[in-house]
């Protein structure tokens, strides 16, 4: 990497890739600093099933998955060139109009964002699985359609758009940015990286285009600090650890700096700059507030009557929306089927209720649970399992309260998350009941993420918030174009700036917001006042599948599974109320 650029982009996920591409297209010199590895060559994703430490984990040799087991939330994020797109399930859905009616800065409406959603759709080439494919429709996709019918929820069923190349598998062809890709071969490995580049990941489009326009990309470059430059033409000095060179500390300078490390990491980096290094002291006191896990809820069905085949087809292909007022709370979530590679079939069976693998007596603490899981997974030996075909995984996500807090631990000075599980219980409980309905409609046994079942710790893959976008520094950290209040030419452009949960999968919104912000940023540069992304003229309007969902007056039907024990008209279980009281006493509620 050079010592100086017009623009430094830190991180290369949905926000960072958009920023790098558009700033490079507007004739700025751009340097991208990404902490993870590049997977731009086909067949470079980790596949060593015998060694969980070989390429899989960020914490061990800068691998692909960054798993952070915080006390009140387990966070999973991607690390690598292309960020979360490398391991995500490809789903692109727009946030429905009512998401924007509160909490967002002025000017943000669904109508205002639609042209940018269309632009992202063009760049990432999104389609529903029902677009004709030589392998037909996956078994689980067909089954989910029948399940929606059985549950009386056909009108809320949809095929989300996915950023997957649905052309014939097996041969290379160039995408519209001149990068080699292949058609999807239905292998179910999307969440561990697509080795044939059938996923339209960000390195194959936005970042490839950024490079064509001169951007330089440094991988294994983990940024550790940002400080204003006291004199000279550049405004900021960015320091980073070069993991490709034994962790050597380096620095480079730029006029514009874009922090795009994902919600948790961007917030953590800025907290360190404000409070530990004290290099960015003017950042709003709201930094860290408004964290959301996007209502993520993980569930399973085992021993289903009809085959689900979780390892056939892209990871997510369908969704069913639930929207009603439950016990005084407005509850909105989308329930999506999932999938996993056949090699992890045996490990997933550890959660099969008929296996009775985990006895409460041996997993009284989270550490004991981790050890028990590791031990049993090792004893499992072979990984594939014939029962996999009749096992299903589900991910629900919804509009949580977005009232979490990311702060620095007073001793370790690393991030920790305070999460209001009690306040968000009505949403989680509805997702739990819905999952039970679906598992039972499949003639199977429901199971939940064990960390949730045993310790009430949710797992999220959709981190949002922490550096909220707002109309004033009293309400948020960045202005409506992503510029940090109090620090000119320093921007945050990623999931951290979304002011509330999108409810649906957020990447499409993160990228669309980044497109809108970066257009405004470029237009402020002298002689660029009319600038628009060159691809804007090729983008056509796409109908989002959620806009065809019909929600009856009074809401979607309640779940057949009833809440365990209701308390008057609040319809909340005694256990939930006790959990809330404990939460309050322990100071978890913000």
Ligand X SMILES: Cc1cc2nc3c(=O)[nH]c(=O)nc-3n(C[C@H](O)[C@H](O)[C@H](O)COP(=O)(O)OP(=O)(O)OC[C@H]3O[C@@H](n4cnc5c(N)ncnc54)[C@H](O)[C@@H]3O)c2cc1C
Sign of CA dihedral 407, 410, 413, 416: negative
Q: Is 198 in the site for ligand SF4 (CB under 6 A)?
A: yes
Stretch that binds ligand X, among 79-87, 203-211, 248-256, 568-576 (CB under 6 A): 79-87
Instruction: Write the DSSP assignment of 348-381 as a string of letters.
Output: HGGG-TTT----GGG-SSHHHHHHHHHHHHHHT-
Q: What is the closest distance, in whole angstroms, from the C-beta atom of residue 135 to ligand SF4 in the complex?
A: 9
Instruction: Write the DSSP assignment of 128-140 as a string of letters.
Output: -TTS--TT---HH
Q: 237, 251 in Cβ contact below 8 A?
A: yes
Binding residues for ligand X, rule CB under 6 A, total 42
Q: Give the β-pairing of 490-492 and 248-259.
A: parallel
- Distance in angstroms (rounded) separating the CA atoms of residues 306 and 200: 31
- Distance in angstroms (rounded) separating the CA atoms of residues 7 and 10: 10
Which of 11, 339, 482, 499 is in the footprint of ligand X by CB under 6 A?
11
Stretch that binds ligand SF4, among 192-200, 381-389, 447-455, 464-472 (CB under 6 A): 192-200
Q: Is 126 in the site for ligand SF4 (CB under 6 A)?
A: no
Stretch that binds ligand X, among 257-265, 422-430, 434-442, 561-569 (CB under 6 A): 257-265
Q: Is 482 in the site for ligand X (CB under 6 A)?
A: no
3-class SS at 398?
strand
Q: Is 120 in the site for ligand X (CB under 6 A)?
A: no
Among 203, 181, 183, 192, smallest CA distance to 129 is for 183
Q: What is the closest distance, in whole angstroms, from the C-beta atom of residue 526 to ligand X in the complex?
A: 29
Which of 7, 8, 10, 478 is in the footprint of ligand X by CB under 6 A?
10
Say which entry of ligand SF4, ligand X, none residue 507 contacts (CB below 5 to 8 A, set by partner kind).
Answer: ligand X
* Residue 5: CA count within 13 A, CB half-sphere: 27
Stretch that binds ligand SF4, among 129-137, 186-194, 343-351, 422-430 (CB under 6 A): 186-194
Say which entry of ligand SF4, ligand X, none residue 196 contacts (CB below 5 to 8 A, set by partner kind).
Answer: ligand SF4
Among 192, 245, 225, 151, smallest CA distance to 56 is for 192
Q: Is 269 in the site for ligand X (CB under 6 A)?
A: yes
Which DSSP state fits 102?
S
3-class SS at 191?
helix
Which is closer to ligand SF4, CB of 96 or CB of 188? Answer: 188
Which DSSP state fits 464?
B
Say which entry of ligand X, ligand SF4, none residue 12 contacts (CB below 5 to 8 A, set by partner kind).
Answer: ligand X
Binding residues for ligand SF4, rule CB under 6 A, total 13
- Distance in angstroms (rounded) separating the CA atoms of residues 65 and 71: 19
Say which entry of ligand X, ligand SF4, none residue 314 contacts (CB below 5 to 8 A, set by partner kind).
Answer: ligand SF4
- Distance in angstroms (rounded) separating the CA atoms of residues 270 and 567: 43
Say which entry of ligand X, ligand SF4, none residue 429 contacts (CB below 5 to 8 A, set by partner kind).
Answer: none
> How many Cβ atoms from other residues are within 10 Å of residue 113's Cβ?
23
Q: Is 218 in the site for ligand X (CB under 6 A)?
A: no
Q: Is 39 in the site for ligand SF4 (CB under 6 A)?
A: no
Q: Is 161 in the site for ligand X (CB under 6 A)?
A: no
Binding to ligand SF4 (CB under 6 A): which residues in 298-337? 314
Which is closer to ligand X, CB of 74 or CB of 559? Answer: 74
Longest CA pairwise span in the chain (Å): 70
Which is closer to ligand X, CB of 79 or CB of 425? Answer: 79
Which pairs with CB-CB distance under 8 Å and at least 24 residues apart come from 228-232? 228/279, 228/280, 228/487, 229/253
Which residue in this structure is represented by tokens 């984990």? 57
Binding to ligand X (CB under 6 A): which residues in 405-464? 461-462
Among 554, 550, 419, 385, smallest CA distance to 69 is for 419
Among 440, 415, 141, 107, smallest CA distance to 303 is for 440
Stretch that binds ligand SF4, among 30-38, 185-193, 216-224, 325-333 (CB under 6 A): 185-193
Q: Is 204 in the site for ligand SF4 (CB under 6 A)?
A: no
Among 20, 42, 79, smallest CA distance to 179 is for 42
Which of 123, 164, 514, 522 is in the footprint of ligand SF4 by CB under 6 A?
164
Q: Which residues are near ligand X by CB under 6 A?
A: 10-16, 33-36, 76-80, 83-84, 87-91, 191, 222-223, 260-263, 265, 269, 316, 461-462, 494-495, 505-508, 510
Q: Which residues are near ligand SF4 by CB under 6 A?
A: 164, 184-190, 194, 196, 198-199, 314
């Amino acid at each position: 990497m050079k010592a100086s650029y017009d623009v430094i982009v830190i991180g290369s996920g949905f926000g960072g890739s958009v920023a790098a591409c558009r700033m490079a297209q507007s004739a700025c010199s751009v340097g991208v600093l990404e902490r993870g590895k590049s997977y731009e060559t086909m067949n470079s994703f980790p596949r060593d099933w015998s060694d969980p430490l070989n390429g899989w984990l960020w914490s061990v040799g800068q691998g692909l998955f960054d798993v952070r087991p915080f006390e009140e939330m387990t966070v999973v994020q991607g690390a690598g060139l292309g960020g979360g797109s490398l391991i995500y399930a490809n789903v692109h859905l727009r946030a429905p109009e009512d998401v924007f009616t509160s909490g967002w800065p002025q000017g943000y409406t669904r109508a205002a964002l639609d042209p940018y959603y269309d632009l992202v759709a063009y760049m990432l080439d999104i389609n529903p699985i029902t677009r004709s494919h030589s392998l037909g429709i996956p078994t689980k996709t067909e089954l989910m359609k029948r399940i929606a019918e059985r549950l009386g929820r056909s009108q809320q069923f949809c095929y989300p758009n996915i950023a997957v190349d649905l052309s014939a598998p097996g041969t290379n062809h160039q995408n519209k940015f001149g990068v080699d890709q292949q058609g999807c071969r239905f292998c179910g490995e999307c969440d561990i990286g697509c080795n044939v580049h059938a996923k339209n990941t960000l390195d194959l489009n936005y970042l490839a285009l950024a490079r064509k326009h001169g951007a330089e990309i440094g991988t294994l470059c983990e940024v550790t600090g940002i400080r204003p430059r006291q004199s000279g033409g550049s405004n900021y000095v960015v320091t980073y650890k070069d993991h490709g060179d034994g962790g050597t500390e380096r620095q480079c300078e730029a006029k514009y700096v874009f922090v795009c490390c994902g919600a948790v990491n961007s917030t953590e980096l800025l907290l360190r700059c404000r409070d530990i290094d004290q290099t960015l002291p003017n950042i709003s006191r709201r930094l860290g507030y408004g964290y959301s896990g996007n209502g993520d809820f993980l569930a399973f069905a085992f021993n289903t009557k009809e085959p689900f085949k979780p390892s056939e087809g892209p990871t997510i292909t369908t969704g069913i929306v639930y929207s009603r007022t439950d016990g005084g709370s407005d509850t909105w979530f989308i329930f999506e089927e999932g999938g996993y590679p056949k090699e992890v079939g045996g490990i997933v069976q550890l959660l099969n209720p008929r296996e009775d693998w985990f006895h409460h007596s041996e997993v009284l603490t989270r550490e004991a649970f981790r050890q028990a899981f590791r031990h049993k997974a090792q004893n499992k030996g072979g990984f594939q399992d014939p029962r996999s075909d009749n096992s299903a995984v589900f991910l629900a996500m919804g509009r949580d309260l977005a009232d979490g807090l990311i702060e620095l631990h007073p001793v370790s000075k690393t991030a920790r998350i305070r999460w209001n599980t009690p306040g968000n219980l009505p949403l989680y409980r509805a997702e739990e009941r819905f999952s039970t309905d679906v598992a039972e409609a499949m003639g199977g046994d429901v199971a939940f993420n064990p960390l949730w079942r045993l310790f009430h710790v949710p797992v999220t893959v959709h981190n949002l918030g922490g550096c909220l976008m707002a109309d004033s520094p009293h309400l948020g950290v960045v202005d409506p174009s992503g510029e940090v209040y109090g620090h000119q030419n320093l921007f945050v452009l990623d999931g951290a700036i979304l002011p509330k949960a999108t409810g649906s999968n957020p990447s499409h919104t993160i990228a669309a917001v980044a497109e809108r912000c970066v257009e405004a940023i470029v237009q402020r540069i002298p002689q660029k006042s009319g600038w628009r992304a060159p691809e804007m003229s090729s983008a056509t309007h796409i109908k989002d599948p959620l806009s065809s969902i019909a929600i009856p007056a009074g809401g979607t039907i309640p779940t057949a599974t009833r809440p365990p024990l209701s308390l008057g008209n609040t319809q909340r279980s005694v256990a939930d109320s006790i959990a809330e009281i404990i939460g309050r006493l322990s100071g978890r509620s913000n």
